[in-house]
């Protein structure tokens, strides 16, 4: 039987641990690169075998962040939209968020108000929960100004919102923007409140089939 001194055994143990850590790091690196090569829609997974709400995670292609969401986080994000004066509407599997132009854009401009980015980040996080869906961004105006001016303004506003989504990780191939000018008014332009309601951005997308949001509690908590 061969005997080793205490120092020799300690050195052998440290070497073994170093090799193990190196192998784990290499495996983790290979996994990370293999995940980054997958399409956006394939970077979402569910763990259905757990008793707790399933965790959904994916890689943010623009900043290499790993974002985690639980099913219950959808309720939280929808409540946050209300706190930032955005209106959430669901009709079957179609989700629509109405963004007030007066609050989120500078006056009579297509430039987003930087002070409102926190609210828009909640909207981006909600869209993240439905990967592979096409996000439609539509901008509308009131009847003040010429038709040509309002068409150009709303088109620029919709593209500004689209650019913000893209800059925060939503793939450009999944985004579509269009300005409708004074068409499709939902308020009375003869009143201050009605014309303000017509100046809006509507963001619409289809709910992910694995993410049913029936019986959502929209109460403020």
Band (21; pLDDT cuts 50, 70, 90): very low
Q: Report pLDDT digits (tens) over 41-99.
A: 544 433 333 333 344 444 444 444 444 555 558 888 999 999 999 999 999 989 999 99
Q: Where are the domains of the chain?
A: 68-209
- The CATH T-level fold of domain 68-209 is 60s Ribosomal Protein L30; Chain: A; (3.30.1330)
Q: What is this structure's pTM?
A: 0.65
Kind of pairing between the strands at 175-179 and 200-206: unpaired
Q: Report pLDDT digits (tens) over 115-172.
A: 999 999 999 999 988 888 899 999 999 999 999 999 999 999 999 999 999 999 999 9
Cα distances (angstroms) measured from residue 47 to each of 38, 52, 101, 116, 170: 19, 9, 39, 34, 23
Band (10; pLDDT cuts 50, 70, 90): low
């Amino acid at each position: 039987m061969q005997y080793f001194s205490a120092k020799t055994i300690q050195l052998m143990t440290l070497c073994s641990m170093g090799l193990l850590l190196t192998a784990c790091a290499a495996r983790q690196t290979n996994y990370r690169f293999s995940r980054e090569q997958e399409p956006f829609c394939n970077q979402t997974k569910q763990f259905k075998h757990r008793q707790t709400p399933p965790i959904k995670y994916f890689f943010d292609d623009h900043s290499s962040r790993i974002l985690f969401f639980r099913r219950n986080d959808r309720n939280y994000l929808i409540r946050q939209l209300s706190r930032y004066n955005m209106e959430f509407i669901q009709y079957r599997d179609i989700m629509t968020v109405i963004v007030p132009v007066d609050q989120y854009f500078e006056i009579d401009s297509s430039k987003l108000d930087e002070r409102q980015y926190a609210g828009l980040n909640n909207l981006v996080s909600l869209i993240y929960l439905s990967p592979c869906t096409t996000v439609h961004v539509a901008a509308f105006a009131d009847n003040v100004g010429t038709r040509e001016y309002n068409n150009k303004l709303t088109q620029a506003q919709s593209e500004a919102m689209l650019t913000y989504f893209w800059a925060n990780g939503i793939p450009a191939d999944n985004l579509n923007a269009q300005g409708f000018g004074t068409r499709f008014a939902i308020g009375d332009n003869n009143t201050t409140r009605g014309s303000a309601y017509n100046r809006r951005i509507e963001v619409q997308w289809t709910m992910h089939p694995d993410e049913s949001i029936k019986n959502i509690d929209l109460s403020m908590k």
